[in-house]
Amino acid sequence: MSVQVETRDGVSTFRPGDEVAGTVRWDLDRPPKSVAVRLFWYTEGKGNRDRGIVADLDLADPAATDRRPFRFVLPAGPWSFVGELITLVWAIEAVVEPGDHAARIEIAVSPTGRPIRLAGTPGAVAAG
């Protein structure tokens, strides 16, 4: 049994307002009750962890083996960033029920198309 999420052409870097499109594939023993695709962000690192679901797409009448397209328009923020204490990551996730099968891919969303490196983080560039 498997679940896969992939973006069109394998692209993983985007800018706010861009469209992110791709495909969810699954191969299960029997048809699932539901398949949901979510666009969300979450934080990692020290302190409280936050999470925000931006869009949720329920795929109707899923078969045991299926392939479905998805499409989301990315919001203005928050931007992907890497800091010394905390990191904000964007992801697209497919969740299949029952059975708790899931797959996730990470993407970056920022004006540069790459995670912003905050000051004090190795590889950061000082603004000037």
22's CB contacts (< 8 A; 6+ apart) are 5, 6, 7, 8, 69, 70, 92
Helix (H, G, I), strand (E, B) or coil at 9: helix
Containing 13, the helix (H) or strand (E) segment is strand 13-14
Q: pLDDT band for position 128 (50/70/90)?
A: very low
**Domain coordinates in residue numbering, the chain:** 2-115
- pLDDT value at residue 122: 67
Average pLDDT, the chain: 93
- pLDDT value at residue 64: 97
Tens of pLDDT, residues 50-100: 999 999 999 999 999 999 999 999 999 999 999 999 999 999 999 999 877
- Tokens at 12, concatenated: 């993983």
CATH dotted code for 2-115: 2.60.40.640
- pLDDT value at residue 127: 43
Q: What is the C-alpha separation between 106 and 14, in angstroms, rounded?
A: 11
Among the residues of 3-119, which ranges form H helices? none
